[in-house]
Chain A
Amino acid sequence: MGETAPTRPERRLRITSVEVLCVVLLVAILGQSWLQSVFDSPALRTGATVFVAVCVQALPFLVLGVLISGAIAAFVPARVLHRVLPRRESAAVGVAGVSGVALAGCECASVPVARRLIGQGVAPAAALTFLLAAPAVNPVVIVSTAVAFPGEPGMVLARFVGSLFTAMIMGWLWIRWGKLEWIAERALRRLPEVEGRDRWKTFAETARADLVDAGGFLVLGALVSAALGVLVPGEWFGALGDQLVLGILVMAILAVVLSLCSEADAFVAASLSALPLLPRLVFLVVGPAVDLKLFALQAGTFGRPFALRFAPATFVVSVVCGVVAGLLFLGGAR
């Protein structure tokens, strides 16, 4: 007669994520002093500070991004986007690159926006170009670069052109070789069109889901970048003054590892005065296009098969674009 359970299944004690969350919180609160003693070593303390700093600095931009994503899903029907963008894909890539100027945020904001654009039927090539262009060519970044490099207008111009071309070349490469099946199915799903009050529901629900999805990956990127930031020896920065090729490579890798906000990286580059301008320019062109937290966000949003192909390609293209722009606008490797 023990068969009563199936009639009232919801009465059974089921361990769901809510219970797990409560237990984790309880354990963490009870073990607070232990937790603090673990973080008493200088290196861990520095790492923890950098981790929280990256999260705190990037989260507002991610929130901005998911709000825009929600707004696109709820208020911009797919047919409007179709009408605005040129029908030819290669032309749409150009429009997308230039319109990156309008979204004044750092790279975390543009990932959910690009995903929503694809969901609403924008050609992936154009959306990906926007993804790369928005964090690098917006007015805030340009102004902060000009402030960080007073008396070097070539630096600002070279960064703008290098980043814009990185974005557009990646878009054109996608048209030629990109495959839709690399992108996870959930990123391609189009939301049903809604009217009236339902729009606000869609807005809030899309923004909420995007924030939950992307937030975890942002945290992952911040964790890795903080760990490497503590582990990478400081000597990497100096002692590269006269090895140009090595300097360019090291600065490109550092841009990926440090995952700086695109609005602040110019100040870091400016402070590395031991290096010639060219490696520092490469640092500025690579950073907003591909770094660890961006890779984590892309892998989470578009799927791992996509990120594993897209990020290395972006790295190569952005290094080349940075070098070429530097040779053109800085007048050689100063």
Chain B
Amino acid sequence: MRRETQNILLLLLGGALLKIALTGDYLRYVKPAHQPWLLGAGAVTVLLGAVAIVRDVLAARERPGTLLPGHEHDHPARSAWLLMVPVLAVFLVAPPALGSDSVTRTRSGSTAGFASASFPPLPPGDPLRMTLTDFVSRAGWDEAGSVDGRRVTLTGFVVHNEGETWLARMVIGCCAADGYPVQVQLDGDQADELAADTWLEVTGEVVPDVNTAEAGYVPEFTVGTLRQVPAPRDPYEY
């Protein structure tokens, strides 16, 4: 691959990083703390490509006809063509955040779990707004049963799985590759007809259960009210 092509690819790659970092699309792929890293890496990549282009142009103007610097020890960097793949993926396909497909795919056993846990008391509020992670771990593992009998509001997307309807959310530690789902099973048929990946805000109560939850446990949730909401800017929990 020619040096000029490499530099153009660097500009495109850096541009792709800057684009997702600035538009907020990066939240589909990594956690919010990565934004400065993405901005820095994008800027450095663009800069390395731009500096090389400017230097080559200047050198070519000074000594027309001579080889550009660096040409003499160029080796065929065919692998660099692969840099096109993320560039095209970001600019043209823009893959969405992980959704119901990931939930059904990684379902078994990977629910947030705590061997034995004591949780701090819940703050006041009726209904109380909770993350799915917090709700599921309290419903399954809190010996004091702090969510039993409390009206809570949960936000997540619809998943249809083996005849059950779930409200789920993906949890990521660093990037979407390490995501795992948390979910509750929605009782009643209010959500059964909704398309998968529809974002909902549901208010209701947990169906009290014995607190001997095993990994993979999905709490049941009695739905009081339910309304559709737009997908949040930041689709994951952490």
Contacts and interface: CB of A to CB of B under 8 A. Distances in A.
Interface in B34-82: 34, 37-38, 40-41, 44-45, 48-49, 51-52, 55, 69-70, 75, 77-82
Contacts of A39: 93, 95
Contact of A56 (B6, B100, B112, B175): B175
A213 interface: yes
A229 B109 CA distance: 16
Chain A's interface size range is: 35 or more
A63 B21 CA distance: 16
B174 A211 contact: no
Contact of A212 (B80, B85, B102): B80
A219 B82 contact: yes
B81 A216 contact: yes
Interface residues of B, number: 76
Given A216-B80, A225-B177, A260-B177, A36 B17 contact: no
* Most chain B CB within a 10 A radius of its CB, from A45, A62, A148, A234: A234
Interface in B1-36: 1-2, 4-10, 13, 17, 20, 26, 28-30, 34
B111 to A, nearest CB: 8
Given A42-B101, A43-B101, A273 B115 contact: yes
A52 B89 contact: yes
A42 B196 CA distance: 11
A272 interface: yes
Interface string A211-232: 1110111011011011001100
B125 interface: no
Given A57-B177, A220-B82, A211 B10 contact: yes
Given A49-B29, A63-B40, A267-B173, A36 B80 contact: no
Interface stretch (A15-23, A90-98, A170-178): A15-23
Contacts of A29: 92
A73 B45 CA distance: 18
B180 interface: yes
Interface of A: 16-18, 20-21, 24, 28-29, 32, 35-36, 39, 42-43, 45-46, 48-57, 59-60, 62-64, 67, 144, 148, 186, 201, 204-205, 207-209, 211-213, 215-217, 219-220, 222-223, 225-226, 229-230, 234-235, 237-239, 258-261, 263-268, 271-274, 300
